Copies of this chain bind each other. A is one copy, B any other.
Amino acid sequence: VRKIVIGLLGAGNVGTGVVRILQENQADIERRLGGAVAVKKVLVRDPSRSREMVADELLTDNPAEILEDPEVRVVVELIGGIEPAYTYVMEALSRSKHVVTANKALMAVKGRELFAEAARRGVSINFEAAVAGGIPILRALREGLASDRIEKITGIVNGTSNYILDAMTRTGARYEEALAQAQEAGFAEADPTLDVGGGDAAQKLALLTLLGFGARVSVDDISTEGITRVRPFDIQAADELGYVIKHLAQAVRTPEGLILRVHPALVPKGSIMAGVHGAYNAILVESRAMGRSLYHGRGAGPMPTGMAVVSDIIELCRSVFAFDSGRPPPEAFARVEDVKPRPLDDERHENYLCVHVTNVPGILGRVATCLGTNGVSIKRLQQDPQGPGTPVDMVIVTEAIDEADLTAALQRVDELDAVQAPTHRFRIVDPDPLESR
């Protein structure tokens, strides 16, 4: 099996997520890659302290053990902040190692130097995780929309701010209360300034602008306003006017140049952005040929962010394997399995039924009994009142039931004398229950 050796700088929340994903999804990753990813060393402050996911012998407090090891081909920087991350990353690049980072501050502030060094050494620096966690928005701009002319990017890119505003909107809480609650739930840092002040969103906007417009801007030049001034009164008044207050980051192409801004705004209820809840992120891109496209998901947290980091590692490994072998990487999975889908017989669903009957006395009871004796529980039943003898559509919602049982029961129902035509049946599916709305 081909193998790529990597080293991690940092073993905080995201680092732990990275290691966990590499372990838990190992089989899938190897199937995709046709090779393995091996973590050789992990840089930490205190190697004597054991970590949950990392074997003790991998820990080191000496960066040279990673940066100067010729076997390490990919360095994963998860320290955060500018220094010492910048020094380490430059060192890795200068030794022709590929780099993956989740560090938006580093990329927004030091991108110019890092890209130049990477180009000089013929290596890549991947940073999908730096914007909107696991949502592959940088890839979408770099590849999926690569042929298009981007006109506008609007994002909810700071999960902490969105969590707080959403909580204020739902519960009427004051900013301070919602912040405390977000901190307790792990959605806000002890020092939330970078998030609630808008600085984090501005850094992300600078990166979106780089990949979407090919324009490098200084974060300091972005007009930035955080959410600290938003009061329950404003949220209530906005609600009465038909709006929701959201924290937006926006880049707009105009004939006179780019407009960049980060601030709270009133967006219409029912708009896509108004529907982004909790710590979710969303980015809406407007481009000439495509029109609008939307990317929505969890924009923070160790697992989504770690997932983006490991996906970047996989992309690098794919291209390293491709370069090493002189052939392009395989489609998606190095090993594809031939699969026969399962029969749907024991799939369980609630169902919508429409039974077409003649309105004779007792027909409702007979249909219900027929369903019941065949194991179908009825959750709701409604029948439009009609004169006797007229055709009637009886609408029934079933409790969850296996497909095979329902099919058998419907066969019996359709055999009843008063049933005029085969029963209409559609499944009831909730594709996105709970958290995201």
Contacts and interface: CB of A to CB of B under 8 A. Distances in A.
Interface of A: 17, 21-22, 24-25, 28-29, 31-32, 115, 118-119, 122-125, 128, 134-136, 138-149, 154, 209-211, 213-218, 221-223, 229-231, 233-234, 237-238, 240-241, 243, 245, 248, 250, 254, 256-261, 263-268, 270-273, 275, 284, 287-298, 303-304, 306-308, 310-311, 313-315, 319, 322-323, 326-328, 330-333, 335-342, 344, 347, 352, 354, 380, 382, 393, 395, 397, 424, 426-433, 435-437
Contacts of A424: 229, 231, 234
Contacts of A136: 136, 139-140, 143-145
Given A289-B21, A297-B293, A128 B147 contact: no
Contacts of A298: 290-293
B267 A311 contact: no
Given A307-B289, A426-B263, A142 B342 contact: no
B28 A311 contact: no
Given A260-B341, A272-B275, 5 more contacts: A25-B147, A25-B289, A115-B331, A147-B307, A214-B335
Nearest to A291: B298
Contacts of A238: 352, 426
Contacts of A344: 223, 259, 261
A234 to B, nearest CB: 6
A1 to B, nearest CB: 17
Among A24, A134, A144, max chain B CB count under 10 A is at A144
A382 to B, nearest CB: 8
B319 A328 contact: yes
Given A288-B24, A332-B210, A354-B237, A308 B144 contact: yes
A307 B272 contact: no
Among A230, A271, A335, A393, max chain B CB count under 10 A is at A271
B337 A292 contact: no
A337 B243 contact: no
B233 A311 contact: no
A381 to B, nearest CB: 11
